[in-house]
Amino acid sequence: MSDKTLIGPFRQLLTMDHLPESGPVQDEQLQILQNAGMVVSGNTIVATGSFEQLRKEHRDAPVQELEGHFCAMPGLIDAHTHICWGGNRAADFAMRIAGKSYLEIAESGGGIWSTVQHTREASFEELYQNTRNHATTLLKEGVTTVEVKSGYGLNFDSEIKMLEVIQSINMELAIDLVPTCLAAHIADKSFHGDQMAYLEWVVRELLPEVTQRSLSKRVDIFIEKSAFTHEAAHYYLARAREMGFEITAHVDQFTAGSSLVALDYHPLSVDHLEASTDREIEAIAISDAVAMALPGASIGLGERFTPARKLLDKGACLAIASDWNPGSAPQGDILMQASLLATYEHLSTAETLSGITHRTAKALGLMDRGLLKAGCRADFIAFDTDDYRNILYHQGKMKPVKIWKSGSEIHGEL
């Protein structure tokens, strides 16, 4: 009995292979295999190509023969989320769309701090169920790898609780969860505005525990007027790098300039960038960092979009993530958000799909996914269409009808 399985035929198989790692991408550069199949062994792709050809070459392999017209592509990768939270911020949203400012909302008990209080109050089990529901929704929508941040704990027990929840769900569900420690989201109120003292505490007490228990290899910081100053960020990112953490950062969301601070520490990605000016765009474009657009936050806050077109034209590696969180980005649908970013920023289909597959895989340092080729992880999704252009044309309404994670099709077990 062969340990391989042939899956197909797919009318179109979008491999996302042979595409540039950064800068603009034309749709003509997409590799589209027609009437294609994929041979999978365990969690890995062994071969892609013509279904009939593969059937001849792998005679002993059982065949999972598909009936209908399908277009397949790599599983989506959402490399920036905050899906582990307690409580609800519908009141914030209602106030915001009715015209209240961020400060007014915070003064009436909303904002990040209100989620911190609810997350602290939530039991492990409650937080687990909420987060599991979010992760399950993402998997149903075709997301096979998702990054999840802490950052609503801001004290030892609650930050660790969040990271433990993320770790447990990663072990239970098929979707891969990549944890990031965002203790530097805002400073805990018990430090009375002393950002440096708070970050020193994170460095001294929290991060060693995170490392020792392998709860995360990544740290994130929100560098912004309402969060951490440039000076505080320099201190924190330098320490985090010394401790061996990979770096990502929330930068240039409302105020330009903080991306330049983060770039000093070789981040895997710089995220948000809605306020980036030409100066920041140039610096990001020549760096190795992935430029992460978060259209869900622009839609949630009614703010401008990240200048994705300019970033690409200057040569940046542009990726797109949902930023799903209870405050600024409550919607969480990455395919819809990527489609909307494409219309507003004039991105090609190839650029948009690259941004939610192989380019965003780079932001997580996961080079084994985001492409469909031999040796890569067999994470892929299929849409009920024979033309890949329908995926973005439906602006997020067309969802995948079949999902494979690590070589196994996901059925009713979601």
Minimum gap (Å) between residue 329 Cβ and ligand NIG? 6
- For residues 32 and 301, which CB has a smaller minimum distance to ligand NIG in the complex? 301
> Per CB under 6 A, does 115 bind ligand NIG?
yes
Minimum gap (Å) between residue 230 Cβ and Fe ion? 19
- By CB under 5 A, the residues from 313 to 372 that bind Fe ion are 323
Query: In which element (H, E) is residue 352 found?
Result: helix 349-355
- For residues 75 and 332, which CB has a smaller minimum distance to Fe ion in the complex? 332
> Per CB under 6 A, does 328 bind ligand NIG?
yes
Angle at 248 between CA 374 and CA 273, to 5 degrees: 105
- For residues 270 and 329, which CB has a smaller minimum distance to ligand NIG in the complex? 329
Question: In whole angstroms, what is the distance from residue 303 CA to residue 323 CA?
Answer: 14
Q: Residues 142, 399: contact at Cβ < 8 Å?
A: yes
Tell me if the bond preceding 9 is cis, omega within 30° of 0.
yes
Minimum gap (Å) between residue 395 Cβ and Fe ion? 23
- For residues 93 and 380, which CB has a smaller minimum distance to ligand NIG in the complex? 93
- For residues 8 and 330, which CB has a smaller minimum distance to Fe ion in the complex? 330
Q: Residues 339, 392: contact at Cβ < 8 Å?
A: yes
Edge to edge, what strands does the sheet with 269-272 contain? 76-78, 143-149, 176-184, 218-222, 246-251, 269-272, 290-293, 317-320
- Segment interacting with ligand NIG, rule: CB under 6 A, options 45-53, 97-105, 319-327, 362-370: 319-327
Minimum gap (Å) between residue 149 Cβ and ligand NIG? 8
- For residues 323 and 345, which CB has a smaller minimum distance to Fe ion in the complex? 323
Minimum gap (Å) between residue 82 Cβ and ligand NIG? 6
> Per CB under 6 A, does 131 bind ligand NIG?
no
Interface with ligand NIG (CB under 6 A), residue from 195, 306, 325, 385: 325
Interface with ligand NIG (CB under 6 A), residue from 159, 188, 246, 323: 323
- Of Fe ion, ligand NIG, none, which one does residue 228 interact with (CB within 5 to 8 Å by kind)? none
- For residues 323 and 351, which CB has a smaller minimum distance to ligand NIG in the complex? 323
- Segment interacting with ligand NIG, rule: CB under 6 A, options 206-214, 234-242, 321-329, 359-367: 321-329
Between 212 and 231, how does the x/- string for binding to ligand NIG read (CB under 6 A)?
----------x---------
**What one-character DSSP code corresponds to residue 346?**
T
Minimum gap (Å) between residue 275 Cβ and ligand NIG? 12
Question: In whole angstroms, what is the distance from residue 373 CA to residue 387 CA?
Answer: 20
Minimum gap (Å) between residue 4 Cβ and Fe ion? 40
The torsion region of residue 2 among left (phi > 0), alpha (psi -120 to 50) and beta comes to: beta
Q: How many residues bind ligand NIG (CB under 6 A)?
A: 13
Question: In whole angstroms, what is the distance from residue 189 CA to residue 307 CA?
Answer: 34
3-state secondary structure of 179: strand
Helix, strand, coil shares, percent, the chain, to 5: 40, 20, 40
Interface with ligand NIG (CB under 6 A), residue from 54, 112, 240, 247: 112
Q: Residues 199, 232: contact at Cβ < 8 Å?
A: yes
Residue numbers of the site for ligand NIG (CB under 6 A)?
82, 112, 115, 222, 250, 253, 297, 323, 325-329
Instruction: List residues binding Fe ion (CB under 5 A).
Output: 323
